[in-house]
């Protein structure tokens, strides 16, 4: 292993600035003449707007502009879009309601955008925002996902009956019916996947800046995918042509999916900067973040798992209602469909699977991808079903999984729900997990806990993800409006240092380190002489950004492709300089040598020769930089087994996570410390979903009840144990690094492991997430 190469525990390059407070976040940026935006937001979940009077606000101190939806419409600014067309089971396109950046006649959730006030100072903007008079006609609210399509439920969008965007299906319903009829046992569960509210440490922020000299715009924004933001703001919102719009996403403090999407606020800031001829800045406060960031999950599911007499899974039927919130957010439609139904085979050979999903509108914040996006929902219901099936049929839960795993010699394995798994070592991973979790010793620990008056339980989660999103042709055939390749550019500077431009975007992942390790390994350049640049559409090639655990698998592969091109060009230069045939030049670890001789040339010397081509191959371009675009041939399939142990205080219902063990197969590991950190963070979010976090709207008023940290329970350090995390590396066979991605592992895997452990301790079939002390106490009272 090269020092700081692939596999090294290199210290993160970015931490020096982050830990010293010298990062550069959007709110750190201040532009000359900057004004401040405050948004007038709906206090109602559902209301018609019969009139808006902005005159008092416009006359208030420091105000430079007050705008409503009519002003945007007058300028031809388009609404926000959903970029993935889902076709329903009848072949009809999903119903996507208009989603104006500022309301036009109606508001559909608490926090919906009504108007914007721009003023010299933030305080003046906020003061004036309170002077905007909106005549609301309050309508009854619909916030219950399970009842959103019921008769009598208020309709949110006038032309969308039953509040339904689409009624989608996947799989063979008849085969499933047949298998269920013939099953020796059918396990049935009704499962709620609770709504989560993302809480990146940095709230969303934007600065729009119009430059009259160039007639161009710069938008500084908290984005996971600045190029995609530029594309959407240009092509659909009509802010400016793409070549006149620069989007900069500098240091971004966490995203978890919530900063993929193109939001109203950044759209308005960009547009308004030309209206008021000043840069316009907006930074969400935490209350705004709770209300208006896209939320995650929110499914209600009825599912059945059929087993034969030997415990083999014969069929799975899943019927889900998925809340979309009030509008379709940027990628909302693909989350409960192609990132969900397709994962329902899990690690198992279940031959018949059918999944039906109704995507429903409710008077709540839009729901879109949140760490895991669809895959946590699939994993949760499947791993809950498997655990309950084991208990109902008197089987050991590990053994039942082992019996149904896809065996290692079955790859590539095509599931009944479209995907072609490329590789996996499920049984070996489970065995390793049972080892580090000391599964054999559990009975003793349970007894010891019982003597202390505590209820101890254990739960498994053997999960799979589809990551490395995604092969463009495949997703295009499923309705994606974009390709999901990635771009990279690797530039040697004349003095031998390297600048790497990537279309991936880091918002906590440590790409500046991981990608530098890849380049150091490939090109033999000192790690400290490599700079990774991202987050600016004016720098480097177009890129699709970071989500779906795609950065190393897709973005990293693009970087490898660019490095390979440099090596091939370098070979030509070395052959010429060393007066040898190109076919005799061998490349290894940053040096080109003539086979069988001691004549060689370093990468740095080659780069210098390319920039100072005094003695240079005829016909070869000078310069030493290469671009590459990488489109994966398949998804990657990270998988693993996580094991949770809990103890419950039967007096109070408090759950303590006492032990958490994980064996994760994310393919080749570039930086073990970073990967472990990703797993730790993901598991913590998974534990958060399982026992702490819950996005709650009042059933009558549609008010967001969990709108602050007083009521929305973020996981804290003392809520989680020290984790035992180990890796099991089965390299991905179809990308050059053998990587699969690790960012979503824990958030996908952990919730069912935790709930399986809690229900094991309680001796109950089910408990809804989050398993709060009160819910656990209620379950104990029922038992």
Partner 1 sequence: MYDFTYHRASGVADAIGKVNAAAEGLFLAGGHTLLPTLKLRLARPSDLIDLQDIGDLRGISVSGDGVTVKAMTTHATVAGSKEARAAIPALANLAGGIGDPHVRARGTIGGSISNNDPAADYPAAVVGLGATVKTDKREIAGDDFFTGMFETALDDGELVTEVSFPRADRAAYYKFKNPASRFAIVGVFVARTGGGVRVAVTGAGPCVFRVGEMEEALAADFSSDAIKDIQIPEDGLNSDIHAQADYRAHLVNVCARRAVDAC
Residues near partner 1, by CB under 8 A: 126-127, 130, 287, 651-652, 692, 694, 696, 705-706, 709-714, 772-774, 777-778
**Minimum distance of partner 1 from residue 367's CB (angstroms):** 19
Strand extents, DSSP E, 77-204: 106-107, 113-119, 133-138, 164-171, 185-193
Nearest to 108 by CA among 159, 40, 155: 155
Nearer to partner 1, 142 or 772 (CB): 772
**Minimum distance of partner 1 from residue 461's CB (angstroms):** 23
Peptide bond connecting 639 to the previous residue in cis, omega within 30 degrees of 0: no
**Minimum distance of partner 1 from residue 774's CB (angstroms):** 5
**Minimum distance of partner 1 from residue 453's CB (angstroms):** 12
**Total residue length of the chain:** 783
Euclidean distance between CA atoms 17 and 254, whole angstroms: 16
**Minimum distance of partner 1 from residue 709's CB (angstroms):** 6
**Minimum distance of partner 1 from residue 423's CB (angstroms):** 40
Nearer to partner 1, 495 or 778 (CB): 778
**Minimum distance of partner 1 from residue 301's CB (angstroms):** 22
Nearer to partner 1, 477 or 710 (CB): 710
Enter the tokens of residue 589: 């670890």
Nearer to partner 1, 634 or 685 (CB): 685
Q: What are phi and psi of 340, to 5 degrees?
A: -130, -65
* Crossing angle for the helix pair 397-404 and 375-392, to the nearest 10 degrees: 120
Nearer to partner 1, 287 or 766 (CB): 287
**Minimum distance of partner 1 from residue 710's CB (angstroms):** 4
HEC profile for 413-432?
Answer: EECCCCCEECCCCHHHHHHH
Nearer to partner 1, 214 or 652 (CB): 652
Nearer to partner 1, 18 or 709 (CB): 709
Distances in Å between the Cα of 63 and the Cα atoms of 36, 38, 42, 54, 211 are 9, 11, 21, 11, 21
**Minimum distance of partner 1 from residue 122's CB (angstroms):** 11
Euclidean distance between CA atoms 369 and 388, whole angstroms: 28
Nearest to 265 by CA among 329, 325, 221: 221
Q: H or E stretch including 275?
A: helix 264-275
Euclidean distance between CA atoms 97 and 160, whole angstroms: 8
What one-character-per-residue DSSP string does 645-702 give?
Answer: EEEE-TTT--EEEEEEEEEEE-BS-S-HHHHHHHHHHHHHHHHIIIII----B-TTT-
Given a contact cutoff of 8 angstroms between Cβ atoms, the answer to whether 540 and 501 are in contact is yes
Nearer to partner 1, 215 or 651 (CB): 651
What single-letter DSSP state applies at residue 769? S
What one-character-per-residue DSSP string does 9-36 give?
Answer: -PPPTTHHHHHTT---BGGG---TT-EE
Nearer to partner 1, 602 or 703 (CB): 703
Nearer to partner 1, 385 or 655 (CB): 655
3-state secondary structure of 747: helix
Nearer to partner 1, 38 or 239 (CB): 38
**Minimum distance of partner 1 from residue 677's CB (angstroms):** 25
Nearest to 47 by CA among 144, 154, 192: 154
Question: CA 67, 71, 73, 74: dihedral to nearest 10 degrees?
Answer: -170
Given a contact cutoff of 8 angstroms between Cβ atoms, the answer to whether 218 and 233 are in contact is no
**Minimum distance of partner 1 from residue 112's CB (angstroms):** 19
**Minimum distance of partner 1 from residue 696's CB (angstroms):** 5
Which residue's entry shows tokens 């589809």? 466
**Minimum distance of partner 1 from residue 773's CB (angstroms):** 7
Q: What are phi and psi of 586, to 5 degrees?
A: -105, 140
Euclidean distance between CA atoms 202 and 51, whole angstroms: 35
Nearer to partner 1, 15 or 700 (CB): 700
Nearer to partner 1, 31 or 126 (CB): 126
């Amino acid at each position: 292993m090269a020092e700081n190469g692939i596999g090294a525990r290199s210290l993160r390059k970015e931490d020096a600035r982050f830990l010293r407070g010298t990062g550069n976040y959007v709110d750190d940026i201040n532009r000359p003449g900057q004004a401040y935006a405050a948004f007038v937001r709906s206090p109602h979940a559902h209301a018609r707007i019969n009139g808006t009077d902005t005159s008092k606000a416009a006359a208030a101190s420091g105000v430079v502009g007050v705008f409503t939806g009519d002003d945007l419409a007058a300028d031809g600014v388009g609404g926000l879009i959903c970029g993935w067309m889902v076709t329903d089971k009848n072949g009809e396109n999903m119903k996507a309601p208009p989603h104006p950046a500022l309301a036009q006649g109606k508001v559909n959730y608490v926090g919906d955008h009504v108007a914007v006030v721009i003023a010299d100072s933030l305080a003046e903007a906020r003061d004036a925002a309170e002077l905007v008079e909106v005549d609301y006609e309050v309508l009854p609210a619909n916030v219950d996902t399970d009842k959103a399509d019921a008769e009598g439920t208020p309709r949110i969008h006038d032309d969308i009956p039953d509040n339904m965007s689409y009624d989608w299906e996947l799989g063979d319903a008849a085969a499933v019916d047949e298998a269920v009829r013939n099953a020796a046992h059918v396990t049935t569960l009704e499962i709620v996947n609770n709504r989560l509210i993302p809480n990146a440490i940095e709230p969303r922020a934007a600065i729009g800046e119009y430059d009259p000299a160039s007639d161009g715009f710069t938008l500084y924004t908290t984005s996971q995918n600045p190029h995609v933001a530029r594309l959407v703001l240009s092509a659909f919102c009509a802010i400016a042509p793409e070549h006149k719009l620069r989007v900069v996403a500098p240091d971004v403090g966490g995203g978890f999916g919530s900063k993929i999407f193109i939001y109203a606020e950044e759209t308005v800031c960009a547009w308004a900067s030309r209206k008021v001829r000043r840069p316009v800045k907006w930074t969400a406060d935490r209350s705004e973040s709770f209300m208006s960031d896209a939320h995650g999950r929110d499914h209600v599911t009825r599912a059945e798992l059929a087993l034969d007499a030997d415990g083999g899974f014969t069929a799975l039927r899943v019927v889900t209602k998925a809340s979309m919130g009030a509008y379709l957010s940027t990628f909302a439609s693909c989350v409960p469909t192609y990132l969900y139904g397709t994962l329902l085979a899990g690690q198992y050979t279940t031959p018949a699977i059918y999944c039906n999903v109704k995507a429903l509108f409710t008077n709540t914040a839009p729901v879109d991808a949140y760490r895991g996006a669809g895959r946590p929902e699939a994993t949760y219901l499947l791993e809950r079903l498997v655990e309950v099936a084991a208990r109902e049929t008197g089987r050991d839960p590990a053994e039942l999984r082992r019996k149904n795993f896809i065996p290692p010699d079955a790859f590539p394995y095509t599931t009944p729900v479209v995907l072609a798994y490329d590789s996996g070592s499920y049984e070996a991973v489970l065995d390793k997990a049972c080892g580090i979790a000391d599964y054999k010793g559990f009975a003793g620990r349970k007894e010891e806990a019982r003597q202390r008056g505590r209820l101890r339980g254990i739960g498994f989660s053997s999960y799979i993800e589809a990551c490395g999103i995604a092969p463009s042709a495949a997703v295009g055939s499923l309705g994606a409006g974009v390709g999901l390749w990635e771009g990279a550019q690797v530039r040697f500077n004349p003095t031998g240092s390297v600048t790497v431009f990537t279309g991936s975007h880091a918002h906590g992942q440590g790409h500046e380190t991981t990608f530098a390790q890849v380049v150091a390994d490939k090109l033999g350049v000192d790690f400290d002489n490599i700079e990774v640049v991202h987050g600016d559409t004016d720098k480097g090639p177009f890129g699709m950004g970071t989500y779906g655990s795609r950065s190393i698998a897709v973005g990293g592969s693009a970087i490898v492709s660019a490095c390979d091109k440099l090596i091939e060009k370098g070979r030509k230069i070395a052959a010429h300089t060393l007066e040898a045939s190109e076919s005799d030049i061998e490349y290894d670890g940053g040096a080109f040598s003539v086979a069988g001789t001691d004549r060689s040339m370093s990468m740095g010397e080659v780069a210098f020769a390319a920039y100072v081509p005094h003695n240079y191959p005829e016909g070869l371009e000078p310069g030493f930089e290469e671009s590459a675009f990488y489109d994966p041939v398949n998804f990657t399939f990270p998988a693993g087994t996580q094991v949770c142990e809990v103890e419950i205080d039967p007096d109070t219902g408090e759950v303590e996570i006492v032990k958490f063990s994980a064996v994760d197969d994310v393919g080749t590991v570039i930086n073990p410390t970073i990967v472990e950190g990703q797993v730790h963070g993901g598991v913590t979010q998974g534990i958060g979903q399982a026992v702490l976090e819950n996005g709650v709207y009042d059933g009558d008023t549609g008010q967001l009840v969990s709108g602050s940290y007083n009521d929305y329970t973020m996981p804290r350090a003392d809520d989680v144990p020290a984790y035992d995390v180990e890796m099991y590396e089965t390299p991905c066979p179809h990308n050059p690094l053998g990587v699969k991605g690790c960012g979503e592992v824990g958030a996908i895997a952990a919730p069912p492991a935790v709930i399986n452990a809690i229900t094991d301790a309680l001796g109950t079939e089910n408990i809804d997430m989050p398993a709060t002390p009160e819910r656990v106490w209620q379950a104990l009272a029922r038992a």
